[in-house]
Amino acid sequence: MRPGPAFPADHPSVQTGRIGVLVVNLGTPEAPTPGAVRRYLAEFLSDRRVVEIPPLVWQPILRGIILNTRPKRSAHAYAQVWTEAGSPLAAITAEQAQDLQHRLGETAIVRHAMRYGRPAIGDELQALMDAGCERILLAPLYPQYCGATTATVVDKAADKLRTMRWQPALRTLPPYHDDVGYIAALAADLGRQLGALAFEPEVLLLSFHGMPERTLHLGDPYHCHCRKTARLLADALARPGLRVETSFQSRFGRAKWLEPATDAVLRREGEAGTRRLAVAAPGFAADCLETLEELAIRGREQFLEAGGAHFAALACLNAGQPGMDMLEALVRRELAGWI
């Protein structure tokens, strides 16, 4: 067989034939300052999937009230959990991507992105494409599917694809709320943390991020996914004498949100005589403001002020071995046929 024609001398250099994995989480301000928080909230709260109020009604409220009042308060909250490595969510997500890269080796190129803020999804997709990744797995780290989380990651990736003459083939990691590996990882990690406590909890509160109740009636499966995760996890933990409850945190605005609310449950448990309580957030792949400040700091205050005596906020899976074993297994499964 005669060899094909050589590329002309001025042909641009092109990398091809690689596989990419883009790990994505929600996002974070770049600093715990009102200005940085304002920029972050402006992007986050302008997403039509996050706030479904028509822009003509919502934007004056957002620009005229919320962005002039909330950033200072939120910056104070971020400052309480900020670390030398920066935002806990950003640092942990970067660590997860680095560990996954180590585990996959030459099989794939792994990068990470944030839906809001930096690194941006579009920039990271382009970096993978520039490195020769013609096939990319988009991996939103949201175990429970929600239009305001998983779907908006896909939306942002599609915005980038729209601008690309040469698009990569794209797959998306499905929700894994009932995956046996996910439940086993949670049970192993939370079981270890519960066993290391200086007290024996009477109640384990599983707190998921809240959503307006109307999303449930509009067909979003998030509430059902959270409830199934909680049921399967309670069964897997199987700790005699431990009552497992489920709640939803981070309410915002005047709309009716999924119930019961985490803060209300904490107060109710304390007032009802519960003295020993632990809280975990299985819907978060990495510790962040909602777990480190809202649960570990404010949640503790709410429970103790209501009469509780012992409180513990358990860590998320983060980059620990159970969580990373699970993530590697999920990613390898979704890359089947490509590797």
Per-residue pLDDT of the chain (339 residues; tens, 9 = 90+): 455 556 676 666 767 789 999 999 999 999 999 999 999 999 999 999 999 999 999 999 999 999 999 999 999 999 999 999 999 999 999 999 999 999 999 999 999 999 999 999 999 999 999 999 999 999 999 999 999 999 999 999 999 999 999 999 999 999 999 999 999 999 999 999 999 999 999 999 999 999 999 999 999 999 999 999 999 999 999 999 999 999 999 988 788 999 999 999 999 999 999 999 999 999 999 999 999 999 999 999 999 999 999 999 999 999 999 999 999 999 999 999 998
Q: Are strands 133-140 and 243-249 parallel, antiparallel or unpaired?
A: unpaired
Beta strands in 202-275 (DSSP E): 203-209, 243-249
Token digits for 51? 């706030």
Count of beta carbons in the 10 Å neighbourhood of residue 10: 5
- What's the rounded Cα separation, in Å, for the pair 100 and 116? 22
The per-residue pLDDT for 255 is: 86
DSSP string of 25-87, one letter each residue: EEE--SSSSHHHHHHHHHHHTT-TTT--S-HHHHHHHIIIIIHHHHHHHHHHHHHHH-BTTB-
pLDDT the model gives residue 12: 66
List, in sequence order, every beta strand (DSSP E) within 78-200: 109-116, 133-140, 169-172
Q: What's the confidence (pLDDT) of residue 3? A: 52
Residues 265, 250, 206, 76: is their CA dihedral positive or negative? negative
Please report the pLDDT score of residue 272 as a whole number. 98
Domains of the chain are: 180-313 (3.40.50.1400)
Rounded CA-CA distance 132/259 in Å is 46
- pLDDT of 170 reads 97
Q: Between the CA of residue 69 and those of 53, 63, 216, 309, what are the distances in Å?
A: 20, 10, 30, 34
Question: Which value, in Å, is the radius of gyration of the alpha carbons in the chain?
Answer: 22
Residues 6+ apart with CB under 8 A from 208: 144, 226, 229, 230, 246, 247, 248, 249, 281, 282, 283
State the pTM of this model. Answer: 0.93
Contact criterion met (CB below 8 Å) for 161 and 170 = yes
CA nearest 247: which of 232, 229, 235?
A: 229
Q: What is the pLDDT of residue 83?
A: 94
> Residue 1: its pLDDT value, please?
46
Q: How far apart are CA 286 and CA 283, in angstroms?
A: 9
**Alpha carbon separation from 128 to 18, 21, 107, 151 (Å, rounded):** 9, 8, 14, 21
d(CA 94, CA 114): 10
Q: Cα(281)–Cα(290) distance, rounded to whole angstroms?
A: 9
What are the angstrom distances between the C-alpha of 274 and each of 95, 104, 202, 206, 244? Answer: 37, 46, 7, 16, 13
